[in-house]
Each structure stands twice: as structure tokens, then as C-alpha cells.
């Protein structure tokens, strides 16, 4: 299947290069093998689809020159040190824009952006620390996760009760999420049980962790890691008779979880609204499904948006090789693009390089998604 998908892309890229004046390589370092391969391929598919669409439309005009794009992907198996090696390889090939889809890798290579050769880092992770670094050459795509804490917590305390059980993943990102949600839960007057976090990458059976968490009789469980193992945690909890609600970390996507467990198991969960439920995403969802035979999550959608904003910014900046100038044009580029190119409604790009796109959180009730209101938004 991989070769089948790559082949038309190759032909397209080659055909494109025959007519266009210039081909610009875009770098990508993400997990393409190992446990997180599925996630890495989802991200890759979004960038790839964006590039193919741009090339099909004849590319963009940068400084009077027709430019098309080509994706150069390297596998880092989700390991930050491999990301660093890959980034060095990519920059040495003269690549000036690199996508990285995991917080560990992003934070590792962030200091390298401004060194010689400089490059623009496109970060796909909701970790707020990425922005705290105040790096001048970072473009962060997803909404920060601290936006979710308050609405998730207050919704679930109101709906189910004040006792929270913890069964999140133990990745660096998962632990930070767990700490943040614990703090918010206590702030709103609830109690938090012992931490039963397990590594969603290496655990063979979740029932032990779930049994332990449930023995403290929680009203709500905090869960989350990659979508598919998260669904297994839900399954274990429901099978052991848990009737309460779930707080689902943003890494897990409802639209992937409901392919593993019946949607009725997810009733009473709060999480991120599936991409296909957003207004105005239908065309993208249909096109993506035709090409990749699966439902696009925000991994595909936000990276599709990312590459489109980058292409537009290159056009506005009049350069494909100066990362600082491209970064400077991101805000104008984001505002100039129609929603068909950004999928989510874009309000611009902040000075720190954060995409200000619409995001909606939702709770599942009777198998349907109910959108929740947000009071404050961190940008």
C-alpha cells in the first residue's frame, strides 16, 4: 500500500519538475516504523496531500519563479536523538523547512533552528513549552493543551463527581498532561486518586492498571496516549463495570477510538472534537478518504494546513530559502488563505509562531458529539 501511494506522488513530483522552474524540498522527521508508525504516517499523509494539491494546481510563484514541492521523509522512530540526526541530514541537503510531529524531537532540535544552516521548524505538538522557548524559527500548528484543562475538568466534575482516577500514558508528554490535569482538578475542589499511569507503548494488558484505578472508586478517569491503546483502556474500564466519565488527553482521537470500541463505551467522555465534525471540513474529509482510505484526524488536517500556509508565506516573502523571512510572512499567509486550504478557521499566526486556528472540544452523549464552550483561550 505504501508503494502504491508513493508512486503517483513520485510521478507527480517528476512530472511537475519537468514543467516548473524549481522544486523545493520540504523535510519531515517522524516515526515511520515501530509502535508510533501509524501516527507518523497520519502526519506524513497530511503534508503529502497538501504538497500534491499545490503541485497539481501548478505550484506557487515565488519571486517570478514557478515553484513546486517535494517531501523528503526520514524515520526517527519517535526518538529525539534520531530526530536531531535526521534534521542535520536534511539541513545539509539544503532543506529550509522541516516538520517534526513529537514534543521530544521538537524540543531537542529547537535550538538548532537558528544555527547555521538555519531552518524553519514546523512543530506538530500541543506542548506549551514549545512556545515558552521563544524560538524565532518555530511554527507550531496545534492548539496548546492547557486550553483543554479547565473546560474538561469543570464539565466532568459537574456531570459525574469529584473523584478523579489516573490511567494516562507515561510518555514525557503524557506525564505533563497528567500533572496539569491533577492540578486543575484539585483547584476546582476535587480529589485525585493515586497515579496509575502505564506506558501505552509497552503494556501488554491494561486490566491490571484499570483494576487498581477502579478500586479507588473514581467518578472520572483521566486516560490518553495514542488513540488505539487509549480505546483499549476504555474497553477494560467498561468491561470491569466502570460507569463514570473519561477525560481524554488530546493525543487520542474519538474518531479513531470508536473504530476499536463501540461509541456507547465513550459516552460521558470529554475530548477534542473529531475533525470530520467541524463545519467546513467535509470536502477535505471526502478527498482524504478517497486517497488514503481512512478518516482524517487533526494529524492530517493540521499538517495539510501547515504546508499550505508555508507555501503561501514563501509566495508572500518572495523567497524559498530564507527561514526568517518565511516565518515573518506566516501571519499574512494564514489570513490570506481560504478555509479550503486551512481546513480549520484560521485567524492568523501569533508573534511566537503559533497557528491561531479554531478548535472545539466536545463531550460524547448517547453516541453523539456535543460541543463545549470555551471561556479563556491561551495563544
Partner 1 sequence: MTTLLQQLFNAVALGGVYALVALGLTLVYGVMRVPNFAHGGLYMLGAYLTYASLTGLGIGYVPSLLLAAIGVALLAALMERVIFYPLRNAPHVSPMIAAIGVLFFLEAAVQLIWGPDFKQIPAPINGIVEIGGVIVTWQRLIIIAASVVVVLALNYFLKRTLTGATIEAMSQNREGARLVGINTNRVGMLTFAISGLLAAAAAALIAPTLLVSPSMGEVMNLKVFAIIILGGMGSVPGAIVGAFLLSFAETFGGAFISLDFADVIGFAMLVVVLAIRPQGLFKRGT
Residue 172 binds partner 1 (CB under 8 A): no
DSSP string, 257-279: HTTTS-GGGGTTEEEEPPGGGST
Classify residue 345 by its DSSP letter.
P
Find the binder of partner 1 among 17, 85, 114, 207 (CB under 8 A).
207
Residue 283 binds partner 1 (CB under 8 A): no
Find the binder of partner 1 among 61, 81, 211, 264 (CB under 8 A).
211
Contacts (CB under 8 A) with partner 1, residues 344-373: none
Is residue 98 helix, strand or coil? strand
Find the binder of partner 1 among 18, 64, 158, 202 (CB under 8 A).
202
DSSP H helices, the chain, are 2-19, 37-56, 80-92, 103-109, 129-132, 146-159, 172-187, 207-214, 227-239, 254-257, 282-292, 298-317, 323-336, 339-342
Find the binder of partner 1 among 169, 196, 329, 342 (CB under 8 A).
196
Considering the complex, state which of residue 231 and residue 270 has its C-beta at the smaller distance from partner 1: 231
Find the binder of partner 1 among 162, 294, 335, 379 (CB under 8 A).
294
Please tell me the distance from the alpha carbon of residue 82 to that of residue 100, in angstroms, as a whole number.
11
Residue 303 binds partner 1 (CB under 8 A): no
Please tell me the distance from the alpha carbon of residue 80 to that of residue 7, in angstroms, as a whole number.
29
Please tell me the distance from the alpha carbon of residue 44 to that of residue 107, in angstroms, as a whole number.
20
Decide if 135 contacts 108 (C-beta within 8 A).
no
The closest of 351, 291, 330 to 42, measured between CA atoms, is 291
Find the binder of partner 1 among 17, 25, 195, 319 (CB under 8 A).
195
CB of 294 to partner 1, least distance (A): 7
Contacts (CB under 8 A) with partner 1, residues 215-274: 215, 228-229, 232, 239-241, 259-260
Residue 179 binds partner 1 (CB under 8 A): no
Please tell me the distance from the alpha carbon of residue 124 to that of residue 28, in angstroms, as a whole number.
11
CB of 145 to partner 1, least distance (A): 22
Classify residue 171 by its DSSP letter.
S
Residue 38 binds partner 1 (CB under 8 A): yes
CB of 194 to partner 1, least distance (A): 8
Considering the complex, state which of residue 114 and residue 170 has its C-beta at the smaller distance from partner 1: 170
Residue 35 binds partner 1 (CB under 8 A): yes
**Type and span of the H or E element at 123:** strand 120-123
Find the binder of partner 1 among 89, 212, 347, 379 (CB under 8 A).
212
Residues in contact with partner 1 by CB under 8 A are 1-3, 32-35, 37-38, 40-41, 170, 194-199, 201-202, 204-205, 207-209, 211-212, 215, 228-229, 232, 239-241, 259-260, 294
Amino acid at each position: 500500500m505504501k508503494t502504491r501511494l508513493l508512486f503517483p506522488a513520485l510521478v507527480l513530483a517528476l512530472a511537475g519538475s519537468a514543467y516548473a522552474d524549481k522544486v523545493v524540498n520540504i523535510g519531515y522527521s517522524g516515526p515511520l516504523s515501530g509502535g508510533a508508525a501509524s501516527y507518523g504516517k497520519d502526519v506524513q499523509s497530511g503534508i503529502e496531500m497538501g504538497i500534491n494539491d499545490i503541485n497539481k494546481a501548478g505550484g506557487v510563484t515565488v519571486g517570478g519563479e514557478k515553484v513546486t514541492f517535494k517531501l523528503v521523509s526520514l524515520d526517527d522512530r519517535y526518538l529525539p536523538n534520531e530526530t536531531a540526526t535526521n534534521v542535520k541530514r536534511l539541513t545539509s541537503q539544503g532543506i529550509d523547512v522541516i516538520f517534526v510531529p513529537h514534543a521530544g524531537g521538537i524540543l531537542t532540535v529547537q535550538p538548532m533552528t537558528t544555527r547555521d544552516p538555519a531552518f524553519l521548524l514546523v512543530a506538530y505538538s500541543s506542548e506549551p513549552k514549545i512556545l515558552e522557548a521563544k524560538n524565532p524559527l518555530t511554527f507550531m500548528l496545534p492548539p496548546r493543551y492547557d486550553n483543554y484543562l479547565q473546560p474538561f475538568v469543570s464539565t466532568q466534575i459537574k456531570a459525574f463527581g469529584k473523584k478523579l482516577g489516573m490511567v494516562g500514558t507515561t510518555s514525557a508528554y503524557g506525564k505533563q498532561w497528567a500533572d496539569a490535569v491533577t492540578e486543575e482538578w484539585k483547584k476546582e475542589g476535587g480529589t485525585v486518586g493515586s497515579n496509575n499511569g502505564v506506558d501505552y507503548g509497552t503494556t501488554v494488558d491494561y486490566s491490571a492498571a484499570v483494576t487498581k484505578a477502579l478500586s479507588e472508586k473514581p467518578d472520572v478517569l483521566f486516560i490518553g496516549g495514542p488513540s488505539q491503546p487509549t480505546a483499549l483502556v476504555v474497553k477494560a474500564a467498561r468491561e470491569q463495570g466502570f460507569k463514570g466519565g473519561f477525560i481524554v488527553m488530546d493525543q487520542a482521537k474519538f474518531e479513531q477510538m470508536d473504530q476499536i470500541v463501540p461509541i456507547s463505551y465513550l459516552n460521558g467522555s470529554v475530548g477534542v472534537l473529531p475533525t470530520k465534525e467541524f463545519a467546513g471540513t467535509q470536502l477535505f474529509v471526502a478527498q482524504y478518504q478517497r486517497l488514503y482510505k481512512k478518516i482524517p484526524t487533526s494529524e492530517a488536517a493540521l499538517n495539510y494546513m501547515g504546508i499550505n500556509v508555508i507555501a503561501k508565506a514563501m509566495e508572500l516573502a518572495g523567497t524559498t530559502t530564507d527561514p526568517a523571512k518565511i516565518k515573518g510572512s506566516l501571519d499574512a499567509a494564514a489570513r490570506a488563505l481560504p478555509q479550503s486550504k486551512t481546513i480549520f478557521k484560521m485567524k492568523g499566526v501569533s508573534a511566537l509562531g503559533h497557528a491561531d486556528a479554531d478548535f472545539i472540544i466536545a463531550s460524547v452523549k448517547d453516541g453523539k458529539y456535543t460541543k463545549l464552550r470555551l471561556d479563556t483561550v491561551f495563544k
